[in-house]
Chains A and B, each alone.
Chain A
Amino acid sequence: MMDKLIFGRYIPGSSLIHRLDPRTKLMGAIFFIIIIFLANNVWTYLTLALFVALAVGLSKIKVSFFINGIKPLIWLILFTVILQILFTSGQTIYFRFGPFILSEEGLINGAFIFMRFVLIIFMSTLLTLTTMPLSLSDAIEYLLRPLAVIKVPVHEIALMLSIALRFVPTLMDETEKIMNAQRARGIDFGEGNLYEQMKSIVPLLIPLFVSSFNRAEELATAMEARGYKGGEGRSKYRQLSWETKDTVTIIAFLGLAVLLLLLKT
């Protein structure tokens, strides 16, 4: 279950998008989410859609993976779209019922909002499908680095993030073991009504919690024994390398922004 949430996402590959620096991809995805709000007519949305289609095509990942990314959010999207349709008034009104209005403007707005959601999800799914979680945490550390000036513990945050990622499979293994051990003692997981199901989680969470604390303490001792004394004076083994294709990608994003500014009404 959790497996799919976090790790089933990365799909190994060697496409251009896969080989981009994680910083490029992270910055690009964030930039895209910002500039998408510039779009306000058919031409701007068409430009954005073409851009996303190009990126998805370059990643050589099946479109079905992206559509799966939309599924968990479909109700939220539909709800927002319907609200938008029903409460936007305009000049061409087709239908009116109490506070609800069905207008041409409302329909167009709804379609745009829907597009906006889909494009954002496609773009962020593209980021997680083509970037290893570890590379992503490297990128986050790098991009947060300026914040060290205002005393944000960037190094510690990055270390916590990478240790957390490293322990996800370990803790999942452990969860599995505890579940089996509790099943052997007669607990049913995922059966009965909601209350019973929640109650069955308790004997799973408590041992998991206790053992995580023990692990954390042992890990801290091991780190100390290996000479860890905080971020100061530490060098880095993992390195990110910025290449021409990253510069080109960033220019492409900037170009997209300029194009949107020209096309918007």
Chain B
Amino acid sequence: MNEIVTVNQISYHYTEEDARPALNDVSFSINKGEWIAIIGPNGSGKSTLAKAINGLIEPSGGEVKVGPYELNEENIWSIREMVGMVFQNPDNQFVGSTVQDDVAFGLENQGLPREEMVERVREALEKVNMLEFAEREPARLSGGQKQRVAIAGIVALRPDIMILDEATSMLDPKGREEVLRTVKEVKERENLSVISITHDIDEAASANRILVMREGKLIKEGTPEEIFSYGDQLIEMGLDLPFPEKLKSSLKNSGINVPSEYLTEEGMVEWLWTYDSKK
């Protein structure tokens, strides 16, 4: 297997004065066709790492190599042609006024002739099962559909690598499943390498390898089975807890006595609104 992304000892500080680096001496590599999940608590440097791979930020040390290119001023546009990125908020990455315009946006940037664009837009929309929505405006699409359009926009560019930066975190369970299925299909058909940054346990389980980040460092690496065997420690690694549990732990942190048994969302609401009367 040949390596498609090689990251060698990169570091990054968001500001000069910042003592704590967002990335601290991170190294790893990804093989062609591989699916990598990066997990870690908020602020652990996952998104920064993703942005370093396609040059949205410039690492202060170390080197990044994508395909045949070394990441630098000259090669940055060639690298961006190889790396497609799906971001978290479905609305804030939808540039076009309709589905087809949005898919065409990246192609327009490359200056492709119109006949080829029409062909590629149609093909890409077919691959994500959104062809029938080609004329729709974003306001009339669900979050999951918008993310599928974003994937089509990437597929149309025929990249080698797709980065999902918490791409499913703002979706409902149905949308999440729909996007994840699309990613799997597209990955197989196009032989893409996928890097997914996630809190979602299903998404992490789809990967071949999981990287765990904490405070800008890569602390663990392994297959999903290996990583999932850590059990309770997964929570510290930033895999998502159900919302009531999160609320409970932050209430506990502010010195409120919370019931120790597991609460569903409804149970939590019940407990919350009767809380004051119990005192």
A interface list, Cβ under 8 A from B? 134, 162-163, 165-166, 169-170, 173, 214-215, 218-219, 221-229, 233-239
Contacts and interface: CB of A to CB of B under 8 A. Distances in A.
Interface stretch (B36-44, B109-117, B216-224, B231-239): B109-117
A165 B80 contact: no
Contact of A163 (B56, B83, B95, B157): B95
A113 to B, nearest CB: 39
Given A219-B93, A234-B111, 10 more contacts: A134-B98, A166-B137, A170-B138, A221-B87, A224-B56, A225-B54, A227-B106, A227-B110, A227-B157, A235-B114
A225 B111 contact: no
Nearest to A227: B109
Contacts of B155: none
Contacts, number: 92
19 contacts: A165-B97, A166-B95, A166-B97, A169-B138, A169-B139, A170-B138, A215-B91, A219-B95, A222-B95, A224-B56, A226-B80, A226-B106, A227-B77, A233-B111, A234-B108, A234-B109, A234-B111, A237-B101, A237-B117
Nearest to A215: B92
A173 to B, nearest CB: 8
Contacts of A239: 114
By DSSP majority rule, is chain B's interface helix, strand, loop, or mixed? helix
Contact of A170 (B85, B95, B118, B139): B139
B173 interface: no
Interface string B136-153: 011100000000000001
Contacts of A235: 107-108, 111-114, 117
A223 B23 CA distance: 24
Contacts of B137: 166, 169
A222 B107 contact: no
B89 interface: yes
A170 B121 CA distance: 24
Contacts of B107: 235, 237
B118 to A, nearest CB: 8
B20 to A, nearest CB: 22
B56 A221 contact: yes
Contacts of A222: 85, 87, 92-93, 95
Contacts of B125: none
Contacts of A166: 94-97, 137-138
B154 to A, nearest CB: 8
